[in-house]
Each structure stands twice: as C-alpha cells, then as structure tokens.
Amino acid sequence: MLPTVRLVLLSLVFISQMHAADIPVDPDFTVDKLLGEWTGVAAASNSPMFMKKKEQMKTEPVTKYWMDGANLISSTAFRTSKGCKTRKVILKEAEKGRYTYTGKGESRMSIIRITPTLCLEHTITTMPNGNIYFNLKLYKKGAEPPKEMEKFTEYALSLGLKKENVVFFEKGEKCPSN
C-alpha cells in the first residue's frame, strides 16, 4: 500500500508543477495568423479519454478558426468508425496567444509556435474533480508534413508523456469542417 501512496503523491507533485509552469507563447503571435483552415498532423495527451479514443484517431482532422465578434471560434471535424463528427468551441482571449474555454473542464490554450504553415497548440484542462490533463496539437497548412514532427514527439516526451500518448494522423478522406 505504501508504494501506491508514494506514487500518488509523486503524481500530484508532477501535475502541480506542470500546471504551474508558464507555457511560452509565440512572441510573434497575432490572431490573423491562426484564422483559416488547418489540418491536424499529430496530437498528444495524458487524458484517459484521449487514450481511450486514440485507436479511432486515424485520418487527419480539419480545424477552422474564425472570429465572431470578440470571440475566436474553433470547429474541428474528424472521422470516427461511425462517420464524421464535429466539435465546436468558443475561445475567449485571456492574453496575446492564450485563450480559455469551458467544456468538460476549464481549459487554457496557448499557441506555442505559429508560422504560415505550422501551428503548435498546448492546452491544459482542469477537471471538476481536480484532475489536470494537457493536450498538444500540431497543425499544418499545405500538403507537406512539417519537419517539426520529430520535435513534436520530443516536446511531448519532455512533458512526461510516453510515446504511446502521441498520435500521428494518416492521410485519408477528410471530414468537411463548417
């Protein structure tokens, strides 16, 4: 029983440090760089839901960002075994390059890096029960996969994720994003 208690305590210390860490934001971020349609290249997470659905995450999801008044809207279309699904989120700007939204928990999204053809997003979600999860997403614009795919895995591993927490999407029939 004692090793289990130690493991739980070490996990709590790790998670609290991870949550407290200030995630860097791309200093050149502007919202107009994020607007438009992006194709998912890779994702990584320590969320149990992510791990449960990981096997269904095969083809590249399509994410669109657009403005609706002061709100940034994100709509992601992805293929499942039952067909196309869409997830829409209203993002509130917290500060330059950082957005918050509420879903199953309170989430804080940071744009770590953005270029005309690449976007790296890091989200920390605090669940009502106190559990903290993080999600990484790598997007591209254009046909070529970004050279940063290996760096994406390195970054995920540096956060304490394992290789099985990382998914690279395959090319395939995409779902239309609205």
Question: What residue segments make up the domains of the chain, in order of their start?
Answer: 23-168
Torsional class of 97: left (φ above 0), alpha (ψ -120 to 50), beta (otherwise): left
pLDDT in tens, 17-64: 444 347 899 999 999 999 999 999 999 999 998 988 888 777 888 899
pTM: 0.83
The closest alpha carbon to 29, from 107, 120, 90, belongs to 120
The closest alpha carbon to 95, from 43, 24, 170, 159, belongs to 24
In 13-61, beta strands by DSSP E:
36-45
Distance CA 57, CA 136 (A): 14
Give the model's pLDDT for residue 178.
64
Distances, alpha carbon 85 to alpha carbons 5, 61, 78, 137, in Å: 40, 10, 5, 18
154 secondary structure, DSSP code: H
**Local structure of 151: helix, strand or coil:** helix
Question: Domain 23-168 is of which CATH architecture?
Answer: Beta Barrel (2.40)
* pLDDT lower than 70: segments of the chain: 1-21, 146, 177-178
Structure tokens at 167: 């998914």
Tell me if 2 sits within 8 A of 8, measured CB to CB: no
Q: What are phi and psi of 122, to 5 degrees?
A: -125, 120
Give the model's pLDDT for residue 103.
86
Tell me if 81 sits within 8 A of 88, measured CB to CB: no
